[in-house]
């Protein structure tokens, strides 16, 4: 088996689909939303992963006023936070986070702060020391703002950051930030990440002298 080793000075982690498998909740909530608006659930689910909800709504209902999308998004976030059935960690996520330890790393998610904390707790995962959530950015992925903000908060050059992402929007955001992207899972693989693994199982982390080395077993470059 081929092993690729990647080095970085900071690791920036998406949440849903990267650390936490919340697909069951996302599907329930967004299929109900699709039904309310006369849309096909399968079509809606092709859009929503990785983006803030109001941006997904703007894509799916382009004629609707922004204020309505923002208002409904607040309700959707509360609905998602109240539903943790089926929320589980991505394979290998807990060991990966624990191995990062005190090394600079951040959670960069399209969820708001409440939903991020609820889902990480439901999956039994420790929170990174820095959280960049929806409230802290003016533009959703695929805009790179969230990743650039996390790099600035950690005082690390974007080129020295490694992003972990699962979605088309997230991969695009990481690359647009000038960062290398490790794609996690089947959604990411189709969208040109720098590296790709099926999950975090067996991904080994070693940190020394301000640099982390991440060994990716069976990765695709």
Phi, psi of 10, rounded to the nearest 5 degrees: -160, 150
pLDDT value at residue 189: 87
Q: Which residues contact 122 (CB under 8 A, 6 or more apart)?
A: 20, 84, 87
Q: What's the pLDDT tens digit per position in 164-192?
A: 999 999 999 999 999 999 999 988 988 99
Predicted pLDDT of residue 188:
92
At 108 the pLDDT is: 98
Q: Which residues contact 19 (CB under 8 A, 6 or more apart)?
A: 13, 89, 90, 93, 97, 107, 120, 123, 125, 164, 200
Question: Strand 10-13 and strand 105-108: pairing?
Answer: parallel
Which pLDDT score, from 0 to 100, does residue 110 have?
A: 94
At 28, which helix (H) or strand (E)?
A: helix 23-36
Q: Is the pLDDT of residue 47 over 60?
A: yes
Ordered by start, the domain boundaries in the chain are 3-22+87-217, 23-81
Burial of 85 (0-12, 13-18, 19+ CB in 10 A): exposed
**In this predicted model, what pLDDT tens digit does every residue of 71-126 receive, in sequence order?**
999 999 999 999 999 999 999 999 999 999 889 999 999 999 999 999 999 999 99
Place of tokens 């997904």: 56
Neighbours of 190 (CB within 10 A): 11
Residues in the chain: 221
Q: Residue 53's closest CA among 108, 98, 109, 11? A: 109
What is the percent of the chain with per-residue pLDDT over 90, rounded to a whole number?
90
Class (C level, CATH) for 3-22+87-217: alpha beta
pLDDT value, residue 2: 73
Q: How confident is the model at residue 219 (pLDDT cuts 50, 70, 90)?
A: low
Q: pTM of the entire structure?
A: 0.91
Percent of the chain with pLDDT over 70: 98
**Which residues are identified as catalytic?**
14, 16
């Amino acid at each position: 088996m081929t092993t690729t080793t990647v080095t970085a000075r900071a690791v920036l982690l998406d949440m849903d689909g990267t650390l936490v498998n919340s697909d069951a909740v996302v599907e329930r909530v967004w299929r109900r939303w699709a039904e309310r608006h006369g849309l096909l659930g399968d079509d809606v689910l092709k859009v929503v992963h990785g983006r803030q909800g109001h941006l997904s709504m703007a894509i799916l209902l382009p004629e609707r006023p922004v204020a309505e999308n923002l208002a409904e998004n607040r309700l959707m976030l509360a609905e998602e936070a109240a539903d943790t059935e089926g929320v589980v960690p991505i394979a290998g996520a807990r060991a990966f986070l624990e191995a990062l330890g005190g090394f600079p790393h951040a959670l960069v998610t399209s969820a708001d702060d409440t939903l991020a904390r609820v889902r990480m707790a439901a999956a039994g995962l420790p929170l990174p020391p820095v959280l960049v959530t929806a409230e802290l950015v003016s533009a959703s992925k695929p805009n790179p703002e969230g990743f650039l903000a996390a790099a600035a908060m950690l005082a690390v050059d974007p080129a020295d950051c490694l992003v972990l992402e699962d979605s088309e929007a997230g991969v695009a955001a990481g690359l647009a930030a000038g960062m290398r992207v490790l794609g996690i899972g089947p959604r990411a693989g189709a969208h040109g990440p720098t590296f790709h693994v099926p999950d975090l199982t067996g991904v080994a982390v070693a940190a020394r002298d301000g640099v982390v080395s991440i060994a990716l077993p069976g990765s695709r470059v």
